[in-house]
Amino acid sequence: MARTMTIAAVSLLLAAVTPAAGQDRDECGDRASLRVAVLDESGTVPLPGATVVLRWNEARRRPVREAADAQGSFFLCVPRDAQEATLWAELGDATSDQAVVVFEPGAASEVELRVGLGQVRSGRIIGRVYDGVTGDAVATAAVSVRGRNRLAESNRRGAFILSGVPEGQHELEVRRIGYAPLGHSVTVTRGLTTEVDIGLVPTPVEMEPIVATVTRSRRLEIKGFYERKLWGELVSGGTFFTEADIERRRPQRITHMIADMSGIRLGPNGKFYSTRLSAGFSGEGCNIKTFLDNADVSDVPIHTLVLPVEVAGVEIYKGPASLPAEFGGSDTRCGAIVIWTK
């Protein structure tokens, strides 16, 4: 069960968290640099271990999701092709307001993110705006919650984020020149993220707008599943199954759904093998590493450990080229299958 972090809990983190390996400004050379300070809502207490989430607005690059160091600080040398990013901080169920940073070569940016550690009564709305006729992303669409001053603008990929939205039912308003304005009721759950896909209709076209809404799993969000999914689908760097995907397929075993993927074979011993990377491997072939909630279960038939109804998400990486660093290593050269329970 999710819990709200308090100042008392922060004091325990101060003793438990070790400093993260950082970078000095000089190491960035002519690249832009970003330093983030994560503090409590008063701006006086640093929050070590808080998660800093950074999503690039333009660059086709994997989002960043890293823990602040023992001083509540996070430092990054910005990639040369990155021009703008949206970032926020999380600690337990609590979150900061989002900030948008524009980068210039050689310039240093400093951002302070304040996380409210009182009783959390808000959530986040994150989504994508697209053309309901062509399916293309719609940039610079104005997205807001009726009755609140905060406004988000969709980026070049149509993505937007509204943080600090009070829990409860709200009217989401989306406007863009050339499209019919949209109003849609959205329910925000305390401490969770509601994901919305919005299909706007060009004004000359007579059709209903398209809206799909789903509430994200907090567990998967903390584990970085959605950030890896966003990046993986952007560059074809993996295959991802959500709880909704599993419910639609209704497999008798989760292994059946995974083995249906091309390039993957389920052996009689219950292990997964790559049919693409078998050269040079003896016996059954190239064994794909399998993780269950970050634990290596490659030597145990996965269907004996978890039922499909217990699975919240699955990540499938068929080779080392698409494998995220957190699942890398010499023993994952044939790929990895990562399963997360609810």
State the pLDDT at residue 15: 36
pLDDT of the residue at 21: 39
The CA distance from 174 to 211, in Å, is 11
pLDDT at position 181 is 93
Q: 97: alpha, beta or left, given left = phi > 0 and alpha = psi -120 to 50?
A: beta
Every domain of the chain with CATH number 2.60.40.1120 lies at: 7-115, 122-216
Q: Give the pair of three-digit tokens for residue 340.
A: 């997360």
Fold entry, domain 220-341: Ferric Hydroxamate Uptake Protein; Chain A, domain 1 (2.170.130)
pLDDT value at position 3?
Answer: 36
Distance in angstroms (rounded) separating the CA atoms of residues 323 and 163 = 30
DSSP string across 32-90: -EEEEEEEETTS-SB-TTPEEEEEESSS--PPEEEE--TTSEEEEEPPTT--EEEEEEE
Predicted pLDDT of residue 24: 57
Reading the block at residue 126, the tokens are 């994150």
pLDDT value at residue 333: 84
Q: Which residues of the chain have pLDDT under 70?
A: 1-26, 59-60, 118-120, 277-284
Q: From residue 191, give the alpha-carbon distance in Å to each of 87, 129, 197, 229, 261.
A: 17, 23, 20, 21, 34
pLDDT of 91 reads 85
For tokens 């996070």, the residue is 74
| Integer Cα distance of 342 and 310 in angstroms | 6
Query: Does the global pTM surpass 0.85?
Result: no
* Residues 146-203: tens digit of each pLDDT: 988 888 999 888 999 898 888 899 999 999 999 999 999 999 988 788 999 999 999 8
CATH of segment(s) 122-216: 2.60.40.1120
Q: What is the pLDDT of residue 9?
A: 39
* CA R_g for the chain: 22
Chain CA centroid to CA 303, Å: 27
Q: Given this model, what pLDDT does residue 6 score?
A: 39
> Which CATH architecture fits 7-115?
Sandwich (2.60)
What is the residue whose two structure tokens read 């292990």? 271
